[in-house]
Structure 1
Amino acid sequence: MLNLNRKLRILAIGAHPDDIEIGCGGTLAKYAHLGHDVYLFIATDGAAGGDSAMRRQEQEVSKSIMKSREIFWGDFSDTQINIDQISINLIEGVIHKIQPDLIFINYHDDTHQDHRHIAAITISATRYIPNVLFYETPTTQNFQPHLYVDIGQKFFDLKIQMLNAHASQVNRTNILNMSILEVARSAAHFRGVQARVPFAEAFESVRLIINIPDFHDSAL
């Protein structure tokens, strides 16, 4: 049950460096800057999209901006994540160590096989976790969000800083004359319009159980 009246432990899972920032970076930064514990699990070092050492370093810089506590690297091969018991056990081990209250993962319907596969692995690994949300990336398909987080100007700006930290990826969108920063701004405004705020990130829930606090006056 997601108890909104206490400090939370949050785990975000992504297939590649910068996936998490694209999908839920503003939300995670908001949690972290408000004092909650945020952890990242990144399945691959993104070697198919650039120098692996550089991409790891970029991720560390982004982590510092986010104020995440720790990065767990999965050491899967980029573009070759397999759905098997070994992979499930690996993520289960991270979950056991962190004991998260809330988990964010790539959406399962996606044109990138790594995104699909890490979603499938995580769905199995989180089968006993009550609070699990899907986030979107530019390659996500058929995403129908029903939960939004108002990230506001402050945390949208931090999201842009985090994406800028992944400097090797900023212009690797395969969209003519459009950087990932412009993609992120468009998405934040679009989801914001849906949520009736200027900047938002959107999610679909695998499961979400919210605690209802008791505000009865015990003296009455």
Structure 2
Amino acid sequence: MASASVSTPARVLAFAAHPDDIDFGAAGTVARWARDGADITYCIMTSGDAGGFDPSDRSNVSGLRRDEQREAARQVGARDVVFLGERDGYLEVNHAVIARAVELIRRVRPDVVLSMHPERNWDRLQASHPDHLACGEIVTRAVYPAAENPFAYPELAEQGLEAYKVPWLWFYGAPRERENIAVDVTGTVDAKLAAIRVHASQHPDIDGMDATVRRLLQENAQRHHLPEGSSAEVFHAVGVNTEQTIAGF
């Protein structure tokens, strides 16, 4: 089990299925990295059009959720938000979406890619929305082998987007048995919660949500033996191209 001593990456590209997913899963870590100088880009794969609770006016849901996500990103210091606009609840693992993920990876050239996890969490099935699982699989395929294969999606190379080897792929929302990194976010809990609160269209009980998130962050820290009173976000970190990895093995 690694700890929060992981150095701050220079560039981060964070993927999510829906607006607010990153904020629940990784916004404390994003805020910490941004505070320390990281350049962070978000990519939201669906428009979030199936979210919310008001049945009276569905026509503005996507626009509202885009605005919420932009403001939430600003709260934690993320520089840019890219929306792929896929239909909420219909995200599929296909080459059209994988190519768009590869394009963004090659443009940003991140040190760390953040993504939702591709494995179903049977302990808490609500963490495994089908769009979440699809996001994780799309990003995994984009990171390896497609982003680093100069012959994959040749139209991207023709646009000047050369192959790029991602050093690290960090998954949030992982099943507990996969967790191997705990990031101490004690100093950025308030920023994380401020970002989550921006998504007011999705949360009928803001105070209850706030209390639950604080409790879960503290439980993460306790489970991974951080100092008493700490809060933590947890990840399944995969070294893709590091000093310890060997290409093709």
Normalised by the shorter chain, which TM-score bucket?
Answer: 0.7 to 0.9
Question: What is the identity, as a one-letter code, of the residue corresponding to 2:210?
Answer: L
Structure 2 gaps, min length 5:
1-5, 53-60, 121-127, 149-165, 245-249
Matched with 2:168 is 131
The answer to whether the Cα contact below 8 Å between 2:167 and 2:242 also exists between their aligned partners in 1 is no
Structural RMSD (CA): 2.3
Equivalent runs, 1:102-117 vs 2, <5 Å: 102-110=112-120, 111-117=128-134
Q: Per the alignment, do residues 123 and 17 of structure 1 end up closer, same or farther by CA in structure 2, a change over 3 Å counting? A: same
Provide the rounded CA distance (Å) in 1 between the counterparts of 2:203 and 2:114. Answer: 22
Provide the rounded CA distance (Å) in 2 between the counterparts of 1:208 and 1:181. Answer: 35
Q: Per the alignment, do residues 125 and 191 of structure 1 end up closer, same or farther by CA in structure 2, a change over 3 Å counting? A: same
Please state if 1:63 is matched with 2:73.
yes
Provide the rounded CA distance (Å) in 1 between the counterparts of 2:32 and 2:39. Answer: 11
Matched with 2:83 is 73
Please state if 1:185 is matched with 2:239.
no
Provide the rounded CA distance (Å) in 2 between the counterparts of 1:5 and 1:117. Answer: 29
Q: Per the alignment, do residues 7 and 27 of structure 1 end up closer, same or farther by CA in structure 2, a change over 3 Å counting? A: closer
Moved more, 143-152 or 160-169: 143-152
Cα shift at 1:123: 0.4
Matched with 1:148 is 182
Provide the rounded CA distance (Å) in 2 between the counterparts of 1:60 and 1:34. Answer: 20
Across the two proteins, how many residue pairs are aligned to each other? Answer: 201
Q: Per the alignment, do residues 133 and 80 of structure 1 end up closer, same or farther by CA in structure 2, a change over 3 Å counting? A: same
Cα shift at 1:179: 3.6
The answer to whether the Cα contact below 8 Å between 1:91 and 1:125 also exists between their aligned partners in 2 is yes
Deviations 1:185-213 (A, max 9, x none): 1220111112313100000123266679x
Please state if 1:41 is matched with 2:43.
yes
Matched with 1:203 is 235
Provide the rounded CA distance (Å) in 2 between the counterparts of 1:40 and 1:77. Answer: 18
Provide the rounded CA distance (Å) in 1 between the counterparts of 2:119 and 2:243. Answer: 29
SS in 2 for 1:48: coil
Matched with 2:124 is none
The answer to whether the Cα contact below 8 Å between 1:13 and 1:104 also exists between their aligned partners in 2 is yes
SS in 1 for 2:238: strand
Question: What is the identity, as a one-letter code, of the residue corresponding to 2:69?
Answer: Q
Q: Percent identity?
A: 27
Matched with 1:88 is 98
Provide the rounded CA distance (Å) in 2 between the counterparts of 1:49 and 1:180. Answer: 16
The answer to whether the Cα contact below 8 Å between 2:28 and 2:233 also exists between their aligned partners in 1 is yes
Normalising by structure 2, report the TM-score.
0.74
The answer to whether the Cα contact below 8 Å between 1:9 and 1:98 also exists between their aligned partners in 2 is yes
Q: Per the alignment, do residues 145 and 54 of structure 1 end up closer, same or farther by CA in structure 2, a change over 3 Å counting? A: same
Matched with 1:32 is 34
Provide the rounded CA distance (Å) in 2 between the counterparts of 1:53 and 1:7. Answer: 31
